[in-house]
């Protein structure tokens, strides 16, 4: 019988520093998100953005909220959609803008065929696999720059 090995370094279970993303740059006109580690681009993702009457805000922000399997509240009716395959937020939520009432962020979608279009209420829709990969590499406080 062998004795189990004790791992006393909890940092072994965190993403390697080389995998962490320090900056997200969203180009609305390209409908593309760029992820950087320092000054090196490490990933890029196609996205859907806010439609004409619900534009995605431009400027500099920071990630202030992260959530797995989020519920969604309809911005007009207040109806709540629980987590699941039909939830408009998909598998992950990464909030980067708020006015204290409403929030805008990166999230998954059950309608991945709309990626590349301006169709949201201001949020940035991503394929679920992409937002899950991104979620695991960012932290609260990650910088977000949104260009027109």
Catalytic residue among 69, 74, 107, 121: 107
In this structure, are residues 40 and 46 in contact, taking their beta carbons and an 8 Å threshold? Answer: no
* CA angle, 90 then 94 then 97, to 5°: 125
Q: Among the options 74, 111, 121, 123, which is catalytic? A: 123
Letter string b/e over residues 24-44, b meaning 16 or more CB atoms within 10 A of that residue's CB: bbbbbeebebbbbbeeeebee
CA distance 44 to 33: 6
Return the DSSP state at 131.
Answer: H
Beta strand 143-147 with 59-62: parallel, antiparallel or unpaired? antiparallel
Q: Is 69 known to be catalytic? A: no
In this structure, are residues 18 and 40 in contact, taking their beta carbons and an 8 Å threshold? no
Can 113 be counted among the known catalytic residues? no
Active site residues: 107, 123
């Amino acid at each position: 019988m062998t004795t189990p090995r004790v791992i006393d370094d909890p940092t072994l279970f965190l993403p390697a520093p080389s995998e962490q993303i320090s900056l997200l740059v969203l180009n609305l006109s390209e409908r593309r998100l760029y992820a950087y580690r320092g000054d090196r681009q490490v990933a890029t993702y196609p996205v859907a953005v806010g439609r004409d009457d619900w534009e995605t805000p431009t400027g500099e922000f920071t990630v202030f909220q992260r959530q797995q399997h989020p519920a969604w509240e309809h911005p007009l009716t207040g109806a709540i959609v629980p987590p699941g395959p039909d939830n408009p937020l998909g598998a992950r939520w990464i909030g980067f803008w708020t006015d204290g009432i409403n929030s805008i962020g990166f999230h998954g979608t059950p309608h991945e065929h709309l990626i590349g279009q301006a169709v949201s209420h201001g949020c940035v829709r991503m394929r679920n696999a992409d937002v899950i990969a991104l979620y695991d590499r960012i932290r609260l406080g990650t910088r977000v720059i949104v260009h027109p």
